[in-house]
Amino acid sequence: GIQVEQSPPDLILQEGANSTLRCNFSDSVNNLQWFHQNPWGQLINLFYIPSGTKQNGRLSATTVATERYSLLYISSSQTTDSGVYFCAVPPPSNYQLIWGAGTKLIIKP
Amino acid sequence: KAGVTQTPRYLIKTRGQQVTLSCSPISGHRSVSWYQQTPGQGLQFLFEYFSETQRNKGNFPGRFSGRQFSNSRSEMNVSTLELGDSALYLCASSLRETSEQFFGPGTRLTVL
């Protein structure tokens, strides 16, 4: 089945820094989602991005479907950006999401 | 528009008991999926329902079951609880099977 790998697994930054999180997937996908899981466990939708580039405030994402990867950019990090970032993809003809292991981001004040 | 709601938010049970978790999807969403999240295994797919039909099931024992009602609300049931069932159970809804999924706040189950 499809494999999803995220890197780096952990990232510690100072407030104000920029970061790039990567998601690689092993097979063609019809869509890809990025989520932020806060300390209380809530998964917050960041991007639904099968291909191309999207921006939302300080966050942006790019998916290159032909090369099977997606990047999440966080600029001018704030302490509230801390948490775990997941990417997830649906396998073909299958009603579920396959998840990466996540990147744990800690932003220090 | 209200988001996905899950009840209860927290549960403490003992081994051997059974538990029922509830999920109400976003209004108009007909697909509901359930996931289990544990520190060791990450996020694992349990099952997905659309129009009261289970269309896909993950690799979990038969103790895990679910159903969906005509109003798209869904329940999952775990019988004969084991310590390893302690986890955060997340429900997601989407308009269609291939569209963006939105998650509820989860139910944190602790089995003692």
What tens digit of pLDDT does each residue of A1-45 get?
A: 889 999 999 999 999 999 999 999 999 888 999 999 998 899 999
- CA B38 to CA A55: how far, in whole Å? 31
Segment B36-77, tens digit of pLDDT: 999 878 899 999 999 999 999 999 999 999 999 999 999 999
> Chain B within 8 Å of A73 (Cβ-Cβ)?
no
Residues B52-87, buried b or exposed e (16+ Cβ, 10 A)? eeeebbeebeeebbbebeeebebbbebeebeeebbb
- CA B53 to CA B23: how far, in whole Å? 16
Structure tokens at B78: 């775990």
Name which of A95, A97, A103 to mutate to probe chain B: the one with the most chain B Cβ atoms within 10 A of its Cβ: A95
Q: Say if residues B88 and B108 touch (Cβ distance below 8 Å).
A: yes
Give chain A positions within 8 Å (CB) of B40: none
Structure tokens at B42: 């990450």
